[in-house]
Chains A and B, each alone.
Chain A
Amino acid sequence: MLDKVVYLDNAAATRLDERVLEAMKPYFFDVYAVATSEFGYSQGIEAREALESAREILSNALGACDDRFIFTSGSTESSNIALKGVALALGEKKGKHIIVSKIEDFPVLHSAKALERQGFRVTYLDVDSDGFVDLDQLKESITDETILVSIQHANQEIGTLQDIETIGRICREKEVLFHTDATHTFTRVPLDVRKVPVDLITVSARTIHGPSSIGGLYIRKGTLIAKWVDGGFQEFDLRAGIENIPGAVGFAKAVELVMLEENNRLQAMRDHLIDRVLAEIPATTLNGHRWKRIPQNANITFHLVEGESITLHLDMRGFAVSTGSACFSRSLEASHVIRGIGGDHERAHGSVRFTFGRYNTLEDVDAVVETVAEVVRELRNISPLGKN
């Protein structure tokens, strides 16, 4: 129907890079054995070597050397292991209090809620109008009972980058473990565990043109964490299950392919979109901080119109984006992030997220800005709120 779809939902999933697929192929057709111990058969040893070298690439990307990096089925599982694994290891020993921000993505937020139902106490930190957590509230909330602080590196919807270096220092000082969900920052924004005192990091391949269903969890040496997925002794006996070797190899390749130049290019697209929309379309608000945000995210509320109508019109014209509107979500709930930063339902309903990736260009940005301007104008024309 349309020659080309301009895909601007790269925070949800990304197109696989062919070079990643090429790197993975041998592990589907030639070396498909499970990773055996060093006393196994040759194909199994080869598989294990591929897995370990992928692990090394992932660890290096975070600046880690003698820490642990375990592969998981994705960022959801990684965050589940981080929260529930620490709760299981320290709940009885140290205390039953966990701190998260109220705009965390669902894997962290709902793991916290699940622990709450098991008798843990959870503090949900407020954020300001840009989405930054209140550092004083964090300091005041930590008690002797606190076992874990989980605050995302950047927000999944509005892209705001938290000051995790300071958050990490606060946690270190109070001797509390710190987990960060880096799903939307990994390789896009520097994160080095030698500089940032963070104990657990969630990462994922799907946001960087790697394969889907592979993620990882960085675990600083000495971190007390219990096994959550039981079975065999894989992944340092921390996460059971036959290893996804093509996935791990593909993840490592995807990491190697992200270049600084690309991140600068994404940032240029982001800035171009934000500048044009705010200047050219009336009644628009940027959600998230103007500069302290990930390079690939722009999130804008188009007031007086509803987001699902915008996304459907854009879809029919060949653009894929997402919205924080209740009508778009499975739960019929308006975005907890927009509401968390103090927005009302109307601001959430009209919010549209544009996220860029390797296969987007500045021409795509111009095309989507012009199309969204037209769509918003049309929708405001039929809206009882839209005149004047």
Chain B
Amino acid sequence: MKFPYSEKVLEHFRHPRNVGKIENPDGKAVEGSPACGDMVAVYIKVDPETRRLTDVKFESYGCASNIATGSIITELAKGKTIAEAKKVTWKQASEALGGLPPIKVHCSVLAVDGLRSAIQNYEERHGLVKERETTTVEVVRKRLKKVINPVSGLNLVRTNLVKDIEVKDGIVRVVIDLPPNHQFASAIKEEIADKIEHLWDVKKLVVDFTE
């Protein structure tokens, strides 16, 4: 039989590790939403002395690559310090899984984001972060690096699809160099919204496409 994923992905999909909630977690985060397709929740326990992750658990509402990445990320993060765990990348997760199809990046990157956000949540709760960052063009650009162009599996910034970014009075405008009827236009738009809209000082997001 031929399946669309590597043996390793299928293995983690079939038997996901560290599934579930942690009671009274030190940090937790939810990335994605049912509306955008996939959703991941990550829970962490941190040793206050060593700042090491003593436990990491996840839950997934998502497709196979989302579930498998959630599973592998818990294995990769467990035992690491929060500083080390923050640096775990999608690429490392993908490699540990024997590779993921490029078109599936957007479903699987959520788990990596989930881990980082859970750590951030821990840091915020334990007074380890300074003040909230103001949203600037650079902040938006950095976030757009997390939005994947499904055609290539690479991010929007790297594939030169971000034509323009404006930030003014809490209104963020992003211009994407694709026609509005491109097969991935609405998927990309949803993902941009997912990355930008919830920022504390963003009132409105406008995503425009070129002709």
Binding site for B on A (CB under 8 A): 1-2, 113, 304-306, 308-309, 312-313, 315-316, 325-328, 330-334, 344-346, 349, 381-386
Contacts and interface: CB of A to CB of B under 8 A. Distances in A.
Chain B CB within 10 A, most for which of A308, A346, A384: A384
A165 to B, nearest CB: 35
Contacts of B150: 332
A334 B38 CA distance: 12
Given A2-B1, A312-B64, A382-B16, A327 B37 contact: yes
Given A345-B34, A346-B35, A382-B19, A332 B59 contact: no
A312 B3 contact: yes
14 contacts: A2-B1, A113-B181, A306-B37, A308-B64, A312-B63, A312-B64, A315-B1, A316-B3, A326-B187, A327-B37, A330-B183, A382-B60, A384-B41, A384-B59
Name the residue in B34, B60, B183 with the highest tally of chain A Cβ atoms < 10 Å from its Cβ.
Answer: B34
Contact of B60 (A316, A328, A333, A384): A384
Contacts of A384: 30, 39-41, 59-61
Nearest to A113: B181
Interface string B1-34: 1011100001001101001100000000010001
Interface in B87-126: 103-104, 106-107
Given A312-B13, A332-B150, A382 B67 contact: yes
B38 A306 contact: yes
A313 B4 CA distance: 12
Given A327-B37, A331-B184, A382-B19, A309 B63 contact: yes
Contact of B34 (A1, A113, A349, A382): A349
A332 B187 contact: yes
Interface residues of B, number: 37
A385 B34 contact: yes
Contact of A333 (B3, B40, B187): B187
Contacts of A345: 34-37
Contacts of A381: 19
Contacts, number: 87
Closest 6 A-B residue pairs measured CB to CB?
A: A327-B63, A308-B63, A384-B59, A384-B41, A346-B34, A332-B187
Contacts of B41: 384
A332 B61 contact: no
A349 B104 CA distance: 15
B186 interface: yes
Nearest to B20: A382
A383 B60 contact: yes
Contacts of B60: 382-384
Contacts of B4: 312
B13 A304 contact: no
A345 B36 CA distance: 7
A147 B104 CA distance: 42
A308 B67 CA distance: 11
Main secondary structure of the interface of B (DSSP, over half): mixed
Contacts of A327: 37-38, 62-63, 104, 107
Contacts of B106: 332
B61 A385 contact: yes
Contacts of A304: 61
A331 B62 contact: no
B106 to A, nearest CB: 8
A383 B37 contact: no
Interface in B29-75: 30, 34-41, 59-64, 66-67
A113 B180 CA distance: 13
Contact of A326 (B19, B30, B37, B64): B37
Contacts of B36: 345
Contacts of B13: 309, 312
Contact of A344 (B14, B20, B35, B66): B35
A381 B10 CA distance: 18
Nearest to B65: A327
Contact of B1 (A1, A330, A334, A386): A1
A385 B37 contact: no
Contact of B3 (A305, A315, A344, A349): A315
A315 B14 CA distance: 12
Contacts of B61: 304-306, 383-386
B63 A306 contact: yes
A309 B60 CA distance: 11
Given A1-B1, A315-B3, A346-B35, A333 B63 contact: no
A113 to B, nearest CB: 8
A32 B35 CA distance: 54
Contacts of B187: 326, 331-333
A345 B34 CA distance: 7
Contacts of A344: 34-35
A174 to B, nearest CB: 31
A326 B37 CA distance: 7
Nearest to B103: A332
A333 to B, nearest CB: 7
B3 A309 contact: no
Contacts of A325: 37, 63
Nearest to B1: A1
Given A312-B13, A316-B14, A346-B34, A333 B64 contact: no
Given A333-B186, A345-B35, A382-B19, A309 B62 contact: yes
| B1, B61, B184 — most chain A CB neighbours (10 Å) | B61
